[in-house]
């Protein structure tokens, strides 16, 4: 049995816990999908599409709960005290750009990322749905809903050819109208290990037995699909027993000094870097608890230094390894927080404007895009639409949003975004 578990996460104000446990048990052909992601189908799609290896990738980081934009990357030191909060801005290594004093490591590398201060089109919804899809939950709901960018990339590009799945998620997944074939593989929070006495040899033996049991179906299968499935299933087993994904998830293989630089709370940042190095095209994860209706500033004093360590280490590592031209890092939350600090020293939901943070991808970094009004309540200059971000992400993956369309279950062609123009300042 293969068991993949994750530790409990703090609930948000809607009471939803992110704890989950995934088990791979009897090793039937269905179970060989490795939890919710059916790798055998992924390999079949790769072969059918003739996909070639590519190093383009996305790491999509969701700060669940809604991060306080004006306390991180858009401080307002001249605003009245009831708006500006308790933190001070500090200069970065790019003249004119200031960020929060609790992000000193990121302040030293502002030339390696871009800040969007005027992100609009967000939803007042405690969900990563729109930061994974670019749309609200109700869009195309009658045919399954919009698919996440990871599912879309998996559908269009397939796996990279390294043996790794195209899409890995450490969070809620949304395959939408593309269906379960394009769901993310979800190694929830740890290394892939065979447990319960299962060895690689026994796993291979069971797979071979299942192949034999399906002989009758293969005999009557004139299309040859069953024979193909035998091969794809063997490859799926290989991901568990000896694949690059298992190695990438094993952080003990990483230099101790590097692990310490990321910090214990930054392990998922390090693991994401290792996964894209192993050939995964899209990695997405939730990090931290940012639903700060009360005690906002003390919570941020705890969260921001950990985020600073993990995110700065990721950006620096991508740069040092020459991966910054190919790997795009996207960080954001579902919305911003209210300009006025409430009576509980917190900030409430605010979907009128939010922040976005982008790095790598060969983009023009070292800049701030857009601005907000005096108290950070609305976009002032250069509003950046949610879907502009997604068009940029697709562009960085080499996908043309002007011409690419997918067919939904009703037979209708669907564009990937409604706003099919990447952020011009970055491209």
Are 377 and 339 in contact, with CB atoms under 8 Å apart?
A: yes
Indicate whether 207 pLDDT > 80: no
Indicate whether 383 pLDDT > 70: yes
Residue 244 binned pLDDT confidence (cut-offs 50, 70, 90): confident
Indicate whether 313 pLDDT > 90: yes
pLDDT for the residue numbered 239? 55
Are 258 and 270 in contact, with CB atoms under 8 Å apart?
A: yes
Helices first, then strands: H and E counts in the chain? 13, 18
Task: Tell me how far apart the 2 most distant CA atoms of the chain are, in Å.
Answer: 77
Indicate whether 45 pLDDT > 60: no
- CATH code linked to domain 52-191+250-415: 3.40.720
pLDDT for the residue numbered 188? 54
Tokens of 126: 């405690």
Indicate whether 407 pLDDT > 70: yes
Query: Among 107-116, 185-194, 203-212, where is mean pLDDT lowest?
Result: 203-212
Range 352-379 average pLDDT? 98
Indicate whether 213 pLDDT > 80: no
Q: Residue 328: which of 392, 399, 402 has the closest Cα?
A: 392
Measure the CA–CA gap between 109 and 346, rounded to whole angstroms: 29
Tokens 């997405």 locate to 284
pLDDT for the residue numbered 162? 83
pLDDT for the residue numbered 13? 74
Range 326-341 average pLDDT? 98
Are 229 and 154 in contact, with CB atoms under 8 Å apart?
A: no
- HSE-up of residue 154 (Cα within 13 Å, Cβ side): 34
Residue 110 binned pLDDT confidence (cut-offs 50, 70, 90): very high
Range 309-313 average pLDDT? 98
Residues 6+ apart with CB under 8 A from 29: 40, 210, 214, 229, 233
Share of the chain above pLDDT 90, in %: 69
In tens, the pLDDT along 14-34 reads: 654 444 333 333 333 333 334
pLDDT for the residue numbered 339? 98
Residue 187 binned pLDDT confidence (cut-offs 50, 70, 90): confident
Residues 6+ apart with CB under 8 A from 199: none
Domain boundaries, the chain: 20-50+192-249, 52-191+250-415
């Amino acid at each position: 049995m293969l068991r993949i578990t994750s530790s409990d996460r703090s609930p948000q104000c809607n009471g939803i816990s992110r704890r989950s446990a995934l088990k791979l048990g009897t090793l039937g052909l269905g179970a060989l999908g490795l939890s919710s992601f059916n790798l055998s189908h992924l390999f079949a799609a790769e072969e059918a599409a003739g996909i070639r290896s590519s190093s383009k990738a996305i790491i999509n980081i969701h700060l669940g709960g809604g991060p306080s934009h004006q306390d991180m990357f858009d401080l307002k030191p001249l605003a009245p005290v009831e708006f500006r909060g308790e933190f001070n801005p500090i200069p970065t290594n790019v003249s004119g750009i200031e960020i929060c004093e609790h992000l000193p490591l990121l302040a030293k590398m502002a030339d390696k990322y871009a800040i969007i201060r005027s992100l609009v089109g967000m939803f007042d919804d405690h969900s990563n749905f729109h930061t994974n899809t670019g749309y609200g939950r109700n869009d195309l709901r009658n045919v399954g809903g919009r698919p996440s960018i990871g599912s879309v990339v998996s559908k269009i590009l397939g796996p990279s050819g390294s043996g790794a799945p195209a899409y890995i998620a450490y969070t809620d997944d949304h395959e939408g109208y593309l269906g379960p074939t394009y769901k993310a593989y979800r190694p929830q929070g740890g290394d892939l290990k065979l447990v319960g006495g299962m060895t690689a040899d026994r796993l291979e033996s069971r797979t071979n037995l299942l192949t034999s049991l399906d002989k009758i179906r293969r005999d009557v299968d004139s299309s040859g699909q069953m024979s193909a499935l035998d091969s794809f299933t063997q490859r799926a087993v290989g991901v568990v027993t000896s694949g690059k994904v298992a190695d990438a998830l094993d952080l003990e293989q990483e230099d101790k000094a590097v692990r310490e630089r990321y910090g214990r709370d930054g392990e998922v940042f390090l693991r994401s870097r290792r996964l894209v190095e192993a050939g995964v095209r899209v990695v997405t994860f939730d990090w931290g608890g940012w639903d700060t209706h009360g005690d906002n500033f003390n919570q941020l004093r705890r969260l921001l230094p950990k985020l600073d360590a993990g995110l700065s280490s990721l950006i620096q590592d991508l740069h040092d390894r020459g991966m910054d031209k190919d790997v795009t890092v996207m960080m954001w939350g579902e919305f911003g927080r209210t300009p006025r600090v409430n009576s509980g020293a917190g900030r409430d939901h605010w979907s009128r404007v939010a922040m976005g943070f982008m790095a790598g991808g060969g983009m023009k970094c070292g800049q701030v895009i857009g601005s907000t009004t005096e108290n950070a309540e609305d976009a002032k200059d250069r509003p950046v639409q949610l879907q502009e971000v997604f068009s940029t992400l697709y562009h960085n993956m080499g996908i043309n949003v002007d011409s690419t369309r997918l067919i939904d279950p009703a037979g209708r062609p669907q564009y990937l975004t409604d706003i099919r123009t990447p952020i011009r300042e970055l491209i």
